[in-house]
């Protein structure tokens, strides 16, 4: 008999809801959930084929311990005892700072929360981080500082009501296809689409205005837009009354050049400034941003300037308007919210209805710093849950050296990954379809996944509990069901405090903030539009940030004359561990390529299909076949991030940009050679 289980797509941050049809403990069909406000039954090619990886024969089924350089299958009991013994040894021999943990944006909120509990109550380390560090930490920092909540201020359905959608450094057509459907639906109703991106991506092709900006110079262009709005008096004065530090912002803008100079600097035709300002002041406008802003020079400032444009034009807190950072993995938002508990506490003042940020401490190592610390011997031990840093971290060869240098490495995942290869112990986790818990999507919607089939490995929350108990903490990790973890988590995270599994299930997800006012009651739950009348800051007002221009850290030169843009492709996801095991997706794309501009190719005698070698100043090089493409500007190349055969992060720099400690992945300088 066929069973049906409601679940959430494990890939991108859109968080599409679907129904898994299960026959005899096998998922036989994936059907989009028509009742879901997220996707109204729609699924992209990745989401509709998730069943192809879940029960793939490559799944890890038993724990592995490395003996004499080879992995040996062991029973759970033996693996957990071995880990506990080594964790204790590390804690005895070294200080707690020598311990580092990587959480996962692919695991549930409950599991991420529990990992923080393990860090603080058992391993006594503050070194715990997750992959948002590599992507959307700057969006979280920028928007929590300016508006109070580091998340999308709007919803997908509200996006459809926009009259203008300005997409900065994002390619939702490939990375968030169902969000792109909402965007196209707005376009069909008359909305104008603006795309600012160095690459003429599939999204840019649908734009009414496409601005082919130079990589890493978005901050200057946004400043030009701000200046134009201010000089022409086309700002929303009512909104400015709801803001703090506008005067400081004006002062800081003054020395940063005039509109003409700024446009020259970022190599953008000045006419776009007038055209775009004309559109966004008419609005209502939604401002979307992706990794093109957060992983480039400027980083947090890039996102803050997008927030400034929203404030100056009054495009926040109303229908069809808002700011919308697109999250890459399905639980980047949730994993970051769980981290909020550890680093900073968002406190809700029930009288003023304001939320404010209490910084607790930030002395811990970021995921990027952990790698450096492992390399220099300061970090001795890492416990990595559901992350593949040997592929995803910048300067991958340095990351691999760091992993090799560890005294003890535990990796928990559903497949043998490039990172797990270096582990001392590999633990088989469970996929989203084999456990119950919550994920939070990019529009702040907390949704439930239900155990649809028997776990092939073990649910990650159960593994964490086993390790904690084996380390001697029997009291705090006695959970029998993720619901109990969720109830405990609510005591620590105000934004989630009014939520319950039942309410989430009944509504096909609920958008946070959802504060508990008193026992049994909720407040502001499921608000699709934030900041209608107040911002979640102590003063209730939005804050204008301090701004400046941050040029790219590396300039192309005669030895490395090209700039490398990297991103995912439609039919693959992240480091490919799941999607490269899906037959349907491999039929669409199964090998890496180098996108080269036609004129550059002509000059260098390159044809589509020629093998190219791409090398970087760090001495590393990779190879892939050329694909002549009009997506790429002259002196730029594009490569997808999803293929281990051409590991693009061998070429990227580990340089951290600013307080977000996010690396400058975009725009690495490289040389291109036909081989
Ligand atoms: Fe999954 Fe994203 Fe596709 Fe939706 S858009 S089905 S969440 S990959």
Predicted pLDDT of residue 512? 93
Question: How far is it, in rounded angstroms, from Cα 462 to Cα 479?
Answer: 8
- Burial bucket for residue 518 (CB in 10 Å: 0-12, 13-18, 19+): exposed
**Which phi and psi angles does 107 have, rounded to 5°?**
-100, 170
SS (H, E, C) 23-79: ECCEEEEEEECCCCCCCCCCCCCCHHHCHHHHCCCCCCCCCEEEECCEEEECCHHHH
Q: What is the pLDDT of residue 351?
A: 53
Average pLDDT, the chain: 93
Quote the ligand 1 centre to 213 CA distance (angstroms): 28
The pLDDT of residue 95 is 82
The three-class DSSP label of residue 501 is helix
Chain Cα centroid distance, residue 345: 21
pLDDT at 520: 61
Does residue 347 register a pLDDT over 80?
Answer: no
Quick one: pLDDT at residue 137?
85
Where residue 344 falls among pLDDT bands split at 50, 70, 90?
Answer: very low
Of the chain, the end-to-end C-alpha distance in Å amounts to 57
The helix, strand and coil proportions of the chain, stated in percent and rounded to the nearest 5, come to: 35, 20, 45
- Provide the β-strand partners of residue 638: 565, 595
Alpha-carbon distance 190 to 175, whole Å? 23
From atom 2 of ligand 1, which residue's Cα is the shortest distance away? 12
pLDDT above 90: residue 339: no
Atom number of ligand 1 nearest to Cα 8: 7
Q: How far is the CA of 38 from the centre of ligand 1 (A)?
A: 10
Structure tokens at 521: 């009651």
Q: 518: cis peptide before it, omega within 30°? A: no
Which contiguous run of DSSP H or E holds residue 486? Answer: helix 482-490
Query: Which pair of structure tokens corresponds to residue 550?
Result: 């941050």
Q: How many CB atoms lie within 10 A of CB 475?
A: 9
Mutation to probe ligand 1, out of 159, 178, 333, 440 (largest number of atoms < 8 A from CB): 178
Instruction: Compute φ and ψ for 634, nearest 5 degrees.
Output: -65, 140
In the predicted structure, residue 320 carries a pLDDT above the cut 60: yes
| Mean pLDDT, rounded, for 644-648 | 94
Q: Cβ atoms within 10 A of the Cβ of 58, count?
A: 11
Say if residue 390's pLDDT is above 90. yes
- pLDDT-derived band of residue 589, with 50, 70 and 90 as boundaries? very high
Residue ID of nearest Cα to ligand 1 atom 6: 47
Q: Which two tokens stand for residue 231?
A: 């000089």
Question: What kind and span of H or E run contains 467?
Answer: helix 460-470
Sheet arrangement for strand 285-289: 209-211, 192-196, 164-168, 285-289, 322-325
pLDDT band at 100; cut points 50, 70, 90: very high
Q: The tokens of 11 are what? A: 């890939």
What atom of ligand 1 comes closest to residue 178's alpha carbon?
Answer: 5
State the Cα–Cα distance between residues 250 and 152, nearest whole angstrom: 26
Going by C-beta distance under 8 Å and a sequence separation of 6 or more, which residues neighbour residue 500? none
pLDDT above 60 for 358? no
- Please report which confidence band the pLDDT of residue 384 belongs to, taking 50, 70 and 90 as the band edges: very high
Cα of 16 vs centre of ligand 1, distance in Å, is 6
Task: Using a pLDDT cut of 70, give the percent of the chain over it.
Answer: 95
CA angle at residue 124 from 476 to 89, to 5 degrees? 105
Judge whether 432 and 450 are in contact, CB under 8 Å.
no
How would you classify the pairing of strands 209-211 and 192-196?
A: parallel
Tell me the backbone φ, ψ of residue 566, rounded to 5 degrees.
-120, 150
The strand ranges marked E within 74-191 are 99-102, 128-129, 164-168
Atom 4 in ligand 1: residue holding the nearest Cα: 16
Asked whether residue 596 carries a pLDDT value surpassing 70, the answer given is yes
**CB neighbours of 565 closer than 8 A, spacing ≥ 6?**
198, 199, 215, 632, 636, 637, 638, 639, 666, 667
Instruction: List the beta strands (DSSP E) in 43-190.
Output: 64-67, 70-73, 99-102, 128-129, 164-168
Give the C-alpha separation, 6 to 436, whole Å. Answer: 10
Helices 246-253, 218-231: crossing angle, 10 deg rounding: 110
In the structure encoding, which two tokens stand for residue 489, read together? 């988590």
Contacts of 420 (CB under 8 A, 6+ apart): 411, 413, 426
> Are 162 and 184 within 8 A, CB to CB?
no
Helices assigned H by DSSP within 507-635:
583-588, 598-604
- The residue assigned the tokens 């040894």 is 89
Q: Could you tell me which of 23, 76, 30, 33 has the C-alpha nearest to residue 53? A: 30
What is the 9 CA–ligand 1 centroid distance (Å)? 6
In contact, 102 and 385? CB cutoff 8 Å: yes
Q: Hey, how many other C-beta atoms are within 10 angstroms of the C-beta on 269?
A: 10
Q: Residue 316: how many CB atoms within 10 A of its CB?
A: 29
pLDDT for res 133: 82
Beta bridge partners of residue 192, listed in sequence order: 164
Please check the confidence at residue 419 and state whether its pLDDT lies above 60. yes
- With cut-offs at 50, 70 and 90, classify the pLDDT of residue 360: very low
DSSP 241: T
Gap from CA of 643 to ligand 1 centroid (Å): 20
Ligand 1 binding pocket mutation candidate from 46, 183, 572 (most atoms within 8 A of CB): 46
Q: What does the alpha-carbon distance between residue 482 and residue 90 come to, in Å, rounded to a whole number?
A: 29
Q: Of 202-211, 241-250, 289-298, where does mean pLDDT reach its minimum?
A: 289-298
pLDDT digits (tens, 9 = 90+) for 450-492: 999 999 999 999 999 999 999 999 899 999 999 999 999 998 8
- For residue 340, is pLDDT > 70? no
| Whole-angstrom distance, CA of residue 302 vs CA of residue 221 | 10
Give whole-number Cα distances, 637 to 199, 200, 205, 445, 613, in Å: 9, 12, 18, 36, 12
Q: Which of 344, 342, 361 is nearest to 149 (CA)?
A: 344
CA distances in angstroms from 11 to 285, 291, 387, 655, listed in the order given: 27, 16, 13, 27
pLDDT digits (tens, 9 = 90+) for 216-244: 999 999 999 999 999 999 999 999 999 99
- The strand pairing partners of 345, in sequence order, are 358
Q: What is the pLDDT of residue 8?
A: 97
Query: Using CA atoms, how far apart are residues 335 and 108, in angstroms rounded to an integer?
Result: 8
CA distance 642 to 126: 31
pTM attached to this predicted model: 0.94
Calpha distance 343→358 (Å, rounded): 9
How many angstroms is it from 329 CA to the middle of ligand 1? Answer: 10
Q: Whose CA is nearest to atom 1 of ligand 1?
A: 47
Picking from 131-145, 252-266, 400-414, which range would have the lowest pLDDT averaged per residue?
131-145
Could you tell me the CA-to-CA distances from 301 to 142, 149, 213, 229, 587 in Å, in that order? 7, 16, 17, 18, 40
Q: Comparing 88-97, 181-190, 338-347, which segment has the lowest mean pLDDT? A: 338-347
* Coil, strand or helix at 594: strand
What pLDDT score was predicted for residue 363? 56
Atom of ligand 1 nearest to the CA of 38: 4
Question: What local confidence, expressed as pLDDT, does residue 655 receive?
Answer: 82
What are the backbone angles phi and psi of residue 501, rounded to the nearest 5°? -55, -40
CA 178 to ligand 1 center in whole angstroms = 6
How many A from CA of 51 to the centre of ligand 1? 14
497: which DSSP letter?
A: T
CA separation for the pair 210, 504 (Å, rounded): 39
**What pLDDT score does 523 carry?**
65
Per-residue pLDDT tens over the stretch 492-538: 888 899 999 999 999 999 999 998 876 666 666 878 999 999 999 98
CA angle 140, 339, 88 (to 5 degrees): 150
Q: Pinpoint the alpha helices (H) of 438-573.
A: 460-470, 482-490, 501-506
Lining ligand 1 with CB less than 6 A are 9, 11-12, 14-16, 43-44, 46-47, 176-178
Write the CA distances from 198 to 294, 351, 610, 636, integer angstroms. Answer: 14, 47, 24, 9
Q: Decide if 309 contacts 276 (C-beta within 8 A).
A: no
Mean per-residue pLDDT, 302-308:
97
pLDDT at 361: 44
The alpha carbon of 46 and the centre of ligand 1 are apart by a number of angstroms equal to 6
């Amino acid at each position: 008999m066929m069973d049906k289980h409601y679940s959430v797509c494990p890939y991108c941050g859109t968080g599409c809801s679907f129904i898994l049809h299960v026959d005899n403990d096998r998922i036989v069909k994936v059907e989009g959930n028509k009742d879901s406000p997220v996707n109204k039954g729609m699924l992209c090619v990745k989401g509709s084929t998730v069943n192809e990886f879940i029960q793939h024969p490559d799944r890890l089924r038993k724990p592995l311990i490395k003996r004499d350089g080879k992995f040996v299958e062991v029973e759970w009991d033996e693996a957990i005892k071995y880990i506990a013994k080594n964790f204790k040894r590390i804690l005895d021999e070294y200080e707690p700072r020598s311990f580092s943990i990587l959480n996962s944006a692919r695991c549930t909120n409950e599991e991420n929360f529990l990992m923080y509990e393990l860090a603080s109550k058992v391993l006594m380390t503050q070194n715990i981080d997750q992959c948002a560090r590599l992507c959307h930490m700057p969006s979280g920092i920028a928007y929590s500082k300016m508006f109070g909540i580091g998340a999308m201020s709007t919803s997908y359905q509200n996006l459809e009501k926009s009259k203008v959608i300005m997409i900065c450094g994002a390619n939702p057509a490939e990375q968030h296809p169902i969000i792109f459907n909402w965007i196209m639906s707005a376009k069909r109703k008359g909305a104008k689409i603006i795309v600012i991106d160095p690459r003429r991506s599939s999204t840019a092709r649908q734009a009414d205005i496409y601005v082919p900006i130079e990589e890493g110079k978005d901050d200057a262009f946004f400043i030009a837009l701000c200046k134009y709005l201010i000089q022409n008096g086309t700002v929303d004065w009512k909104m400015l009354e709801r803001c703090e530090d506008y005067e400081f912002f004006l002062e800081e803008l003054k020395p940063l050049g005039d509109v003409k100079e700024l446009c020259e600097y970022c190599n953008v035709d000045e006419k776009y400034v007038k055209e775009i300002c004309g559109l966004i002041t008419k609005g209502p406008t939604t401002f979307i941003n992706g990794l093109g802003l957060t992983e480039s020079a400027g980083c947090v400032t890039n996102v803050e300037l997008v927030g400034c444009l929203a404030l100056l034009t009054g495009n926040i807190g109303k229908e069809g308007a808002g700011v919308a950072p697109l999250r890459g993995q399905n639980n980047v938002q949730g994993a970051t919210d769980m981290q909020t508990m550890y680093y900073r506490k968002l406190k809700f003042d029930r009288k003023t209805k304001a939320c404010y940020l209490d910084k607790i401490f930030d002395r811990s190592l970021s995921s990027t710093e952990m790698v450096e610390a492992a390399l220099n011997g300061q970090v001795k031990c890492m416990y990595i849950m559901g992350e593949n840093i040997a592929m995803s971290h910048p300067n991958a060869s340095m990351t691999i050296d760091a992993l090799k240098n560890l005294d003890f490495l535990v990796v928990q995942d559903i497949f043998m990954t490039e990172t797990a290869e270096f582990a001392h112990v590999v633990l088989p986790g469970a996929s989203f379809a084999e456990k119950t818990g919550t994920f939070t999507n990019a529009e702040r919607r907390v949704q439930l996944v239900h155990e649809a089939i028997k776990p092939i490995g073990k649910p990650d929350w159960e593994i964490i509990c086993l390790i904690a108990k084996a380390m001697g903490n029997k009291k705090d990790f006695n959970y029998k069901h993720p619901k109990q973890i969720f109830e405990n988590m609510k005591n620590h995270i105000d934004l989630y405090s009014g939520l319950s599994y039942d309410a989430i299930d009944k509504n096909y997800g609920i958008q946070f903030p959802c504060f508990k006012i008193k026992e049994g009651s909720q407040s502001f739950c499921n608000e699709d539009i934030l900041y209608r009348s107040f911002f979640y800051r102590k003063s209730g007002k939005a804050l204008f940030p301090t701004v400046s221009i941050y040029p790219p850290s590396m300039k192309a030169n005669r030895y490395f004359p090209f700039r490398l843009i990297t991103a995912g492709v439609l039919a693959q996801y992240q480091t490919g561990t799941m999607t490269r095991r899906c037959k349907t997706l491999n039929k669409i794309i199964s090998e890496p390529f180098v996108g080269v501009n036609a004129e550059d190719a002509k000059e260098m005698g390159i044809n589509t299909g020629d093998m190219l070698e791409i090398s970087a100043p760090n001495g590393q090089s990779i190879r892939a076949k050329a694909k002549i493409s009009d997506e790429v500007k002259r002196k730029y190349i594009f490569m997808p991030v999803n293929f281990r055969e051409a590991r693009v992060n061998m070429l990227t720099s580990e340089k951290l940009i600013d307080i977000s400690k996010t690396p400058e992945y975009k725009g690495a300088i490289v040389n291109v050679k036909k081989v």
